[in-house]
Amino acid sequence: MHAQAITSTAKPEVAHLTLCRGLERQAVSHVVAISSLCKRAAGETLFSEGEAADGAFEVVKGTLRLYKLLPDGRRQIVGFPAAGTLLGLAPEGAHVYSAEAVTDVTLCRYPRASFNRLVDSVPGLARRLWAVTADELRFAQDQLLLLGRKTAAEKVASFLLLLSDQQQSPTEVEVPMTRSDIGDYLGLTIETVSRTLTKLKRDKTIGLTSACRITLRDRDQLEALAAGEAATES
């Protein structure tokens, strides 16, 4: 579903904006001045691959899925940005992937033209943007490792630890995405994802509190598995 974003004139709380972290007060005021809050309901599209990128977004609340459609119609999910993630930075002027809400989301929107002017004129903003972009590159490299060299069990363990780090919750994670989403992110079938989670539960490495909540019962074992240091069947 591709619906028009609901945009308000309300300004985001500065303390919650990753983009403003470390900037001087005057620089922050310039960033906030061009920003506005917008919302998407679960299942709605924020932007689609190939569309003109007329703005950048920072996730304030909720979770999105970023994906590309392959020539044969298959979907490759490239990430699940949550609060604090900046997206929509398209140097060629068009989005290179699609963004869809997994849950209800609130975002801070920065119009492209105004944002570009700020990058050129506000002290420290270009450096802050460079740091955010470097984080995105690191996540992309981690994704390549997930898809290329890890077993199914190692992939699922890595994914759960990623959610744990993202949510800053060492013992329990919310999993709002479907098993199909997880499979499309990790390059696995739904059956393999479900079978691997069941195996981790049977080994008492995790607990399946519900379909959307997982307890990390043995984090050390999970970290060893993600690093390829523990043997387990997938």
The domain segmentation of the chain, as residue ranges, is 6-140, 150-226
Which tens digits make up the pLDDT trace of 190-227?
A: 999 999 999 999 999 999 988 899 999 999 999 999 98
- For residue 9, is pLDDT > 70? no
Which tens digits make up the pLDDT trace of 28-87?
A: 898 889 999 999 999 999 999 999 999 999 999 999 999 999 898 889 999 999 998 888
CATH number of this structure's domain 150-226:
1.10.10.10
Which tens digits make up the pLDDT trace of 120-163?
A: 888 788 888 888 777 777 767 777 776 777 899 999 999 999 99
Alpha-carbon distance 158 to 26, whole Å?
40
pLDDT-based confidence at residue 234 (cuts at 50, 70, 90):
very low
Q: Can you name the CATH fold of 6-140?
A: Jelly Rolls (2.60.120)
**Which 8-state DSSP code applies to residue 182?**
H
Q: What mean pLDDT is predicted for residues 174-191?
A: 95
Q: How many CB atoms lie within 10 A of CB 203?
A: 16
Which tens digits make up the pLDDT trace of 107-120?
A: 999 999 998 898 88
Tell me if 6-140 shares its fold with 150-226.
Answer: no
Q: How many CB atoms lie within 10 A of CB 39?
A: 17
Alpha-carbon distance 24 to 110, whole Å?
19
The CA angle 85-175-8, to the nearest 5 degrees, is 45
Structure tokens at 96: 């290179």
